[in-house]
Chains A and B, each alone.
Chain A
Amino acid sequence: MARGRATGEGGVTNRGIIDSRRGQATAGARLEPAGYVARHDERGRTVLVLTGHWTLRGIDGRAGALASELRGYVQEGDKVVWDCREVRTLDNVGALVLWRLHGFAHHGGIQVRPEHAALCERWSQRQAPPESLRPARAGALDTLMSLERGLRSHVLDFTALLGQIALDSGRLVRRPDRIPWKDVSATIYEAGVRALGITALVGALVGVVMSYLSALELQAFGAQSFIVNILGLSIMRELGPLLAAILVAGRSGSAMAAELGVMRLTEELDALSAMGISQTVRLILPKIVALAIALPLLVIWTDAVGLLGGMVAAHITLGISIPSFIHAIPSAVPVVNFLLGLLKGVVFGIVVALIACHFGLRIQPNTLSLGLETTNAVVTAITAVIFFDAMFAIAFRGVGLP
Chain B
Amino acid sequence: MTPETIIDMEHVWTRFGQHIVHEDINLRIVRGEILGLVGSSGSGKTTLVREMIGLDQPSAGHVSLFGERLDQIAHDALAALRNRCGVLFQGGALFSALTVFENVAFPLQEYPAIEPALIRDLVYMKLTQVGLGPEVAARLPAELSGGMVKRVALARALALEPELLFLDEPTSGLDPVTAQAFVHHLQGLHRELGFTAVVITHDLDLMHDLCTALAILADHRIVAQGSPAEVAENPHPFVASMFSGERGQRVFGITAS
- Which A residues are closer than 8 A to B by beta carbons? 22, 24-29, 55-57, 59-61, 63-64, 89, 91-93, 96-97, 115, 118-119, 122-123, 126-127, 129-130, 133, 265, 364-369
Contacts and interface: CB of A to CB of B under 8 A. Distances in A.
A118 B77 contact: no
Contacts of B112: 61
Interface string B153-166: 00000001100000
Interface string B34-50: 00000000000000000
Interface in B94-113: 95-97, 99, 101, 111-113
Contact of A28 (B77, B134, B138): B77
Interface stretch (B10-18, B124-132, B231-239): B124-132
Contacts, number: 100
A97 B125 CA distance: 13
A56 B160 contact: yes
B80 A24 contact: yes
Interface of B: 66-68, 73, 76-77, 80-81, 83-84, 95-97, 99, 101, 111-115, 117-118, 120-122, 124-126, 128-129, 134, 137-138, 140-142, 160-161, 188, 191-194
The 4 residue pairs across chains A and B that have the minimum distance between CB atoms:
A368-B97, A366-B96, A61-B113, A129-B124
A26 B80 contact: yes
A368 B126 CA distance: 25
Nearest to A130: B134
Given A57-B84, A57-B113, A366-B140, A119 B118 contact: no
A119 B99 CA distance: 26
A365 B142 contact: yes
Nearest to B73: A27
Contacts of B81: 27
A63 B96 contact: no
10 contacts: A24-B77, A56-B114, A59-B113, A122-B192, A127-B134, A133-B101, A365-B142, A366-B97, A366-B140, A368-B96
Given A64-B117, A367-B97, A130 B161 contact: no
A93 B192 contact: no
A26 B76 CA distance: 11
Contacts of B161: 55-57, 91-93
Given A61-B115, A92-B193, A129-B121, 17 more contacts: A25-B113, A27-B73, A29-B66, A57-B84, A59-B113, A61-B114, A63-B114, A63-B115, A64-B115, A64-B117, A89-B194, A96-B121, A115-B194, A119-B192, A126-B128, A130-B137, A365-B142
A245 B193 CA distance: 60
Contacts of B83: 25
Contacts of A365: 96, 142
A123 B124 CA distance: 11
B116 to A, nearest CB: 10
A126 B68 CA distance: 37
B126 A367 contact: no
A29 B67 contact: yes
Contact of A366 (B113, B120, B142): B142
Given A55-B161, A93-B161, A115-B194, A367 B124 contact: no
A172 B32 CA distance: 65
A258 B125 CA distance: 37
Nearest to A372: B97
A168 B77 CA distance: 60
A265 to B, nearest CB: 8
